[in-house]
Structure 1
Amino acid sequence: MRTTEVLRLAQPRARRFAPGALLGLLSALCAVGLIATSAYLITRAAEMPPILYLNMAIVGVRAFALGRAGFRYAERLASHDAAFRTLATLRVGIYERLVPLAPDGLSGTRRGDLLTRLTADVDELQNLPLRVVQPLLISGAVAATSVVTVWILLPAAGIALLVALVLAALVGTVVNSVIAARSERSIAPLRGAFADEVLDTVVNLDVLTAFDATGSRLAAVETADRRLTRAVLSSAAGSGVATGILSLLAGAASVAALLVGIPALATPGFDGPVLAIIALVPIAVFEVVSSVPLALAALRQVRSSAERVASVVPDAVPTEIPVDGPGVSSRTAEPTGTVIELRGVSATWPQAAAPAIRGVDLTISPGDRILVTGASGSGKTTLAHVLVRFLEFEGSYSLGGVDVRSLPLADVRRVVGLSEQIPYLFDESIRQNLLFARDDASDAELLGVLERVGLSGWVEGRGGLDARVGERGSLVSGGQAQRIALARALLADFPVLVLDEPTANVDADRADALLVDLLAASTDPDGRRAVVIISHLPVPDDLITSRLRLG
């Protein structure tokens, strides 16, 4: 995915963007009009004419004051509604592009940084229409309208205002860029690095505390925080200096208007109220135009965030990640006879230099209990990911007699399910952690499957299905997390179930009992479910039907 594509998706379509931009323009014009009519009213009233001559100015002041506030309020509603709706569409589009990559195509991005890219960086993109495009359009339109109006009243004053505005745009932008450009481009990456340090510390806080290593981790968090703070302060300094320069030039424009306007008082048709208008209008115009350097600064931050979002979603899915291609059938995989057959299968992880497994042969029939063993790094998890089509492969892999490359990925994953070594539990209730496997399951079915995995008494003791499991299952033990994961898999009713190191996070004296329970629970009534157990621990021969050693 390219940065320009992300920016294009972040900008609302014209029909949705136009109302907010138009209302913002009307609000800005009302602000300038309010200054002009107020200046005219005050100076004209000082001449003490009949009240009849002031009525139009009085009405104008009231109208512009109400219009400025009313249009501004309506503009905020319209422009933010457009930006947020576009942001929702963009976020959904990014997730749709990420789904084919997950989980193995995202392994190169740290979790904290990935989270920041999908939240803070995506949120930053709303500033493209709100703080970049719209302010630039409004500033340009207001500046042009004001210069033309002042030029009509006094050409020399109009030229002076134009020169001041051009200088303000150029000098303010250059100064802001010199002071803050590098910092503004670095804010998004530094924010991601800070979030990654914080998440890494929080997630591993128990281990860090146990080994008295919290000091070094907190020092790393403080270092990341200082870098981010310096970048933000540098950006604020650039904006502050640019705003100060614009204020000076606004005053200079008013002084220039007075210098050319006072001599013009001797000209017929040019009087004190008109002089007040050309002297005070620059102040209102510069209030609007002051957003130009800030808009360009915001553009640098938006572009940096867009680059980070685009880098998460590559232009093309890596060849190691399977996708549904044009040759994929619409049929549903129905395993008959031999469920799975692998011949000469090799697989490589994304960005890896060499295959993780080579020439693997494996046949899985209904009711099989196959133990996959091997040293660490021998490719056991790689084989599991190939079976569920998280990783592409070389060789032959058929499901129910059909080449899996001709089947939709979703169909394969309805047949082959994976219970991971560290199952993910959401910070929700036990019920919600089970329902996403089958959202129409009743409470009775949920309790039944918990009974099968040996958790019915535990759930009852915790108060039922509404008991929460904590963030990433912090309120449950490793064995309980594996049982909950198996319960989810049983609810999904996979004909082939892969258990990846189910006892890796369980005490050694309980591992054998847990493995026996898991195998017993995974057996379906007709005995046709096949189970592939990946384990580095020995498993009794009476629990399995065959073995496969990798490496």
Structure 2
Amino acid sequence: MRDAVLRRALPRRKRALPGALLGILADACVVGLLGLSMWLIVRAGEQPPILHLTFAIVGVRALAIGRAAFRYAERISSHDAALAQLATLRAETFRSLIPRIPGAIESHRRGEVLAAFVDDVDQLQDEPLRVRQPLWVSGIVTGLSVIVVALISPLAALILTVFLAVSGFLAARLAARQSGESDRALSAARAALVDAILERFSAAEVLVAFGAQARQRERIAAAERHLVEVQLRRAKTAGLTAALLTLGSGLATLATLLFLAPALGGTLSGPLFAAAVVVPAAVFEVFAQVPAALVARRAVRASADRVAALTETPLPAEIPAPVSAGEPAAGQDGDLADQAPVFEETAPLVAVERLAARYPGAEHDAISGLDFTLAPGETLVVTGESGAGKSTLALALVRFLEYRGSYRVRGVEARDLRGDQVRAVVGLCEQTPHLFDADLRQNLKFARERASDEELVAVLDRVGLAEWARERGGLDAPVGEHGALVSGGQAQRIGLARAILADFPVVVLDEPTAGVDREVADRLLLDLLSAVPADRAVILITHTELPEGIPAATLRLEAQARRA
């Protein structure tokens, strides 16, 4: 599961290759610049003819310019590829989360889900930037550097290889031991902080009413302090790793100086001796990317595991498997999968036989044995006490929950259609419609993007909100965060206006009068039902009695425990 997430985080090879090549050139310039500079200094001290130094002088200038130019170009190329892929990764992760709501991720805390979607998905960009590319670039440049040193002195190459291996092994072990603990602590600390912040804003009114703001602020501050402590421990580990590699670099230089000194003036010239002694410092600077990449790799793998736990685990049997556009659903030909389904003109809008459904993890069905049909212009009232399965029925009808039995939409079995094709016919106005923190216009155009202002005003008039909208400033009126500036009844009317704009043939109203007193509830129900065009069908889910004068069939649900 983790591998699938990591593959989505990687740019295409064609897009990532230029950054890797530029990184190799930049690091090669680092090693070449230091070695050639030392050779030039010592050789110049021998006072040869200036023409003998020209190539080295030009080479030092070229390597100095190349180091900066190649590094700048590498950063642009590699980050452009990684960030472009990050946008794709976010979209794919979001699409993977959609079919898991409701039912498949309720066991995770809100802060945990949000931290995974934001922080952990962002962390995955380190896979190409701080894991794979540094490992490849460092490995190639270090290997080439050892080969060049071997051409100067095999003994110097052996010394460099031994100290690289020992220092790298110790640094990797130290980093792995420390980062393994801090990675787990970092994830928990991030989730705790996000949870505290979410609670502070979502429960702001309750906290103010009970004078608990100071306590919540202290909780947020404590979570922030804990997160800082975890991050400081990670920073100390990085510092210790860097110190260990610096020590290895110094020891490699000292050992090279001591063991090569006897060959000075004999088989080894002074300039080459100086280059062989100083090159390990540059090689270790390049090699330092390896332990850092291994530490980043653990963090990336941990983030990938958490994202995979949300998006890659198999869906429960109670959640319909998503079918993307272009992929045929059951009973469809692949060539026709992108085409509109062929509905039966004379078939009822909805026909249900022996319908059963349950929530993920539930031992018993929430609903079972339901039978009804619905034609244009008809209204079906679904009643029953709390827990009888009314909302479960609504979720099954819009294919958020899997069903057993038969559920046909205009003559086609719903499981043979994609979810969006079912929801193009059956639209749900949930008990608490989600309103975006934008103006009224944007909250309505969410249902029909190209609707004109005249169409929006007309639908507001149909649901009884035209006068209210004019008093608030028209379509530019704000609705507040999560609809804080509108009442529950007004939110229901906005939700119904969306359903009318979306032109759903079947509208499911889920508890539109919940929390409203009886007199207001009766008036709201009458207004909502009269606002629905006559050629549409309505499924009204309510636990209260229907006002007089509304022609409707009634389906009463009973809790499964009572049936048993």
Q: TM-score per shorter chain, which class?
A: over 0.9
Displacement after TM superposition at 1:307 (Å): 0.8
Distance 2:522 2:146 in 1: 84
| 1:316 aligned counterpart, secondary structure | coil
Is 1:196 matched up with 2:203? Answer: no
1:357-396 matches, within 5 Å, as: 357-396=367-406
Is 1:311 matched up with 2:309? Answer: yes
Equivalent residue for 1:537?
544
Is 1:458 matched up with 2:468? Answer: yes
Displacement after TM superposition at 1:164 (Å): 1.0
Q: Give the letter for the 1:354 counterpart.
A: H
Q: Give the letter for the 2:388 counterpart.
A: S
CA offset digits 1:156-196 (Å, max 9, x no partner): 22211111111121010111122222212442354234323
Equivalent residue for 1:18?
17
Distance 1:332 1:505, change over 3 A: farther
| 1:437 aligned counterpart, secondary structure | coil
Q: Are the aligned partners of 2:179 and 2:298 in contact in 1 as well (CA < 8 Å)?
A: no
Equivalent residue for 2:136?
137
Q: Are the aligned partners of 1:36 and 1:281 in contact in 2 as well (CA < 8 Å)?
A: yes
Q: Are the aligned partners of 1:427 and 1:469 in contact in 2 as well (CA < 8 Å)?
A: yes
CA offset digits 1:240-287 (Å, max 9, x no partner): 11111011111111111211233222315421x223212221111111
Q: Give the letter for the 2:556 counterpart.
A: R
Equivalent residue for 2:179?
180
Equivalent residue for 2:251?
252
Displacement after TM superposition at 1:72 (Å): 0.5
Equivalent residue for 1:435?
445
CA offset digits 1:271-311 (Å, max 9, x no partner): 1x223212221111111111111111100110011111111
CA offset digits 1:406-455 (Å, max 9, x no partner): 34433321221110111111222222221121122111101110111122
Distance 1:24 1:412, change over 3 A: same
Distance 1:360 1:12 in 2: 49
Distance 1:48 1:457, change over 3 A: farther
Equivalent residue for 1:86?
85
- Deviating more after overlay: 386-395 vs 311-320: 311-320
| 2:540 aligned counterpart, secondary structure | strand
Displacement after TM superposition at 1:100 (Å): 3.5
Distance 1:550 1:211 in 2: 39
Q: Give the letter for the 1:396 counterpart.
A: S
Displacement after TM superposition at 1:531 (Å): 1.6
1:136-285 matches, within 5 Å, as: 136-215=135-214, 217-271=216-270, 273-285=271-283
Q: Are the aligned partners of 2:358 and 2:364 in contact in 1 as well (CA < 8 Å)?
A: yes
Distance 2:139 2:282 in 1: 14
Displacement after TM superposition at 1:121 (Å): 1.3
Displacement after TM superposition at 1:540 (Å): 1.3
Distance 1:408 1:275, change over 3 A: closer
Equivalent residue for 1:76?
75
Distance 1:397 1:206 in 2: 43
Distance 1:104 1:540 in 2: 34
1:40-51 matches, within 5 Å, as: 40-51=39-50
Displacement after TM superposition at 1:486 (Å): 0.9
- Deviating more after overlay: 45-54 vs 243-252: 45-54
**Which of 425, 434, 441 is residue 424 of structure 1 equivalent to?**
434
Equivalent residue for 1:502?
512
- Deviating more after overlay: 386-395 vs 79-88: 79-88
Is 1:476 matched up with 2:486? Answer: yes
CA offset digits 1:343-402 (Å, max 9, x no partner): 322211112222112222333333233322222222111011112121111223233344
Equivalent residue for 2:553?
546
Equivalent residue for 2:318?
320
| 2:355 aligned counterpart, secondary structure | strand
Displacement after TM superposition at 1:508 (Å): 6.2
Q: Give the letter for the 1:296 counterpart.
A: L
**TM-score, normalised to structure 1's length?**
0.92
Equivalent residue for 1:302?
300
Distance 1:507 1:142 in 2: 75
Distance 2:490 2:251 in 1: 73
Distance 1:501 1:186, change over 3 A: same
Distance 2:267 2:348 in 1: 103
Equivalent residue for 2:286?
288
Distance 1:385 1:374 in 2: 16
- Deviating more after overlay: 211-220 vs 152-161: 211-220
Q: Give the letter for the 2:12 counterpart.
A: R
Two-structure CA RMSD over aligned residues (Å): 2.3
Distance 1:200 1:519, change over 3 A: same
Displacement after TM superposition at 1:488 (Å): 0.4
Q: Are the aligned partners of 2:384 and 2:390 in contact in 1 as well (CA < 8 Å)?
A: yes
Distance 2:361 2:81 in 1: 39
Distance 1:220 1:84, change over 3 A: same
Identity of aligned residues (%): 48
Equivalent residue for 1:406?
416
Q: Give the letter for the 1:192 counterpart.
A: A
CA offset digits 1:487-533 (Å, max 9, x no partner): 100101212111111122556664333222212212x1xx2322222
Distance 1:335 1:376 in 2: 37
- Deviating more after overlay: 360-369 vs 137-146: 360-369
Distance 2:142 2:421 in 1: 60
Q: Give the letter for the 1:538 counterpart.
A: E
Q: Are the aligned partners of 2:249 and 2:281 in contact in 1 as well (CA < 8 Å)?
A: yes
Displacement after TM superposition at 1:51 (Å): 2.8
Distance 2:371 2:28 in 1: 75
| 1:543 aligned counterpart, secondary structure | coil
**TM-score, normalised to structure 2's length?**
0.90
Distance 1:36 1:421, change over 3 A: same
Query: Which structure 1 segments of 5+ residues have no match?
Result: none
| 2:399 aligned counterpart, secondary structure | coil
| 2:549 aligned counterpart, secondary structure | helix
- Deviating more after overlay: 505-514 vs 193-202: 505-514
Distance 1:73 1:346 in 2: 61
Is 1:339 matched up with 2:349? Answer: yes
Distance 1:116 1:317 in 2: 21
